[in-house]
Amino acid sequence: MVQTKRVLVIYTGGTFGMLKNEKGGRQQAAGRQAGSRQVAGRQVAGRQVAVLVSQKNIEEVIRLLPQLHDVDHWTKTMAGTDMKDYLVLPDGKDTEVKVLYKIHEYDELKDSSDFTLDDWIKMARDIKRFYHDYDGFVVLHGTDTMAYGASILSFMLEVVGKTVVLTGAQIPIFQPRSDANSNFHCAMLIAATQHIPEVTVFFGCKLFRGTRVKKVSNTRIYAFDSPNFPPLLEAKTTLDVDPKMLIHPPESVPNECRLHDKLSQKVYVLKVAPTITPKVLRAVFDNMEGVVLETYGNGNMPIKRRDIYQEIERAVKNNVLVVNVTQCINGTVLGKAIYETGLLLVECGVVPGFDMTSEAVLAKLSYVLTKTELSYQQKVELMKTNIRGELYNPQR
């Protein structure tokens, strides 16, 4: 008997399902791509410019794509049954498992640049709510904030015994050169057949750890990278993950979902630039509980600007949790500073971010700061501790 796996697809919006209307305005879809299209145009310098807007009822379109839905199998075995709401991934050489999936489309589809922490809390709660009904989860997510979303979901899902994959597209699924088909198909297979008990991102043939990924291009199909940690998997003729790459051995993770669905809204990323002033620092620190401080090189700031260090020291004394990360794509900020400028930050009480991405630090701060049972110093120690595969601390 053929083994079946069920996957829940959470469709949140993003480029994956967007359409553009050359004429502008709003119109009702007709013909082959049924469903309600929400498209819009904008007037620029007296001419109409097409813009991309998310397509509602994406399931109706995917059901027409033979690469993503086996209509013959569905008609023969599922139509007219309680399984009629599922779609079926066509058979392939990758697996003998029959992958069934259901699309849970949000009422309000968003460009991911509009996402707030509340949106990711909603996604995490949905994974928790449907956890025992499915074998894996795929989140269709816009690319602009996917790295933030993957990190935030990683921390909120304190324990997750099933595979969670975020994916999307650089080119909408309706266009001939779209990368959506491949990204979606592989993400579905990984969620259904690979036991990876953590949050991940699949994009451009590679599967990345959710707390390690970063968007590195807005034009290339290979839009994401993991600068300080290798991919968990690369899609070749087969899809195989090395268990040694995972945070925990899969057999050691209980098949349950434990959710921490509180996040601090008072966290911000502040990039150090030559024009930075104490006034800027104070404006940020006075309104935040945590700050990601993006510094130069190995974690450096201007050495002769003592007024800047005074503001940072004042913020730390007021229990603002400040974490130092490098502006470089690849690299680390160690607790033991190499240069005097970095040492001054350590002496001010700034926490080294090691090799974490800015996105991971923002997510971790938002999570850690809501751990009200912890003291300030315990939160500092937790920021320096690897809990979701987000950092390597050579001092531990």
Give the fold, CATH level 3, of 4-20+38-259: Rossmann fold (3.40.50)
Query: Taking 50 as the threshold, does the pLDDT of residue 34 lie above it?
Result: no
CA nearest to 85, candidates 11, 164, 8: 8
**pLDDT category of residue 30 using cuts at 50, 70 and 90:** very low
pLDDT (tens digit per residue) in 301-321:
888 888 999 999 999 999 999
Dist CA 282 CA 288 (whole Å): 10
Mean pLDDT to the nearest integer, 325-353: 86
- Say what the pLDDT of residue 303 is: 82
- Residues serving a catalytic function are 15
Q: Greater confidence, 226 or 176? A: 226
- Say what the pLDDT of residue 395 is: 79
**pLDDT category of residue 26 using cuts at 50, 70 and 90:** very low
Q: Please, where in the chain does CATH 3.40.50.1170 lie? A: 4-20+38-259
Query: Taking 90 as the threshold, does the pLDDT of residue 152 lie above it?
Result: yes
**pLDDT category of residue 36 using cuts at 50, 70 and 90:** very low
CA nearest to 207, candidates 135, 136, 131: 136
Q: What is the dihedral of CA 337, 343, 346, 348, to 10 degrees?
A: -170
- Identify the CATH assignment for 267-383 out of 2.40.50.140, 3.20.20.140, 3.40.50.40, 3.30.1600.10: 3.40.50.40
Query: Taking 50 as the threshold, does the pLDDT of residue 380 lie above it?
Result: yes
pLDDT (tens digit per residue) in 55-97:
799 999 999 999 999 999 999 999 999 999 999 999 876 678 9
- For the chain, how many residues are written? 396
Q: 213 Cβ partners below 8 Å, 6+ apart?
A: 146, 147, 150, 151, 201, 224, 225, 226, 357, 359
Identity (one letter) of the amino acid at 52?
A: L
Pairing of strands 224-225, 163-167: unpaired
Dist CA 344 CA 342 (whole Å): 5
- Say what the pLDDT of residue 337 is: 64
Tell me the backbone φ, ψ of residue 117, rounded to 5 degrees.
-60, -30
Q: Please, where in the chain does CATH 3.40.50.40 lie? A: 267-383
Q: What is the end-to-end Cα distance of the chain in Å, rounded?
A: 49
Query: Taking 80 as the threshold, does the pLDDT of residue 341 lie above it?
Result: no
pLDDT (tens digit per residue) in 239-262:
889 889 999 999 999 999 999 999
Per-position DSSP letters for 94-108, written without gaps between them: TBSSEEEEEEEEEEE
**Assessment of whether the complete model's pTM goes beyond 0.85:** yes
Tell me the backbone φ, ψ of residue 342, rounded to 5 degrees.
-70, -35
- Say what the pLDDT of residue 396 is: 75
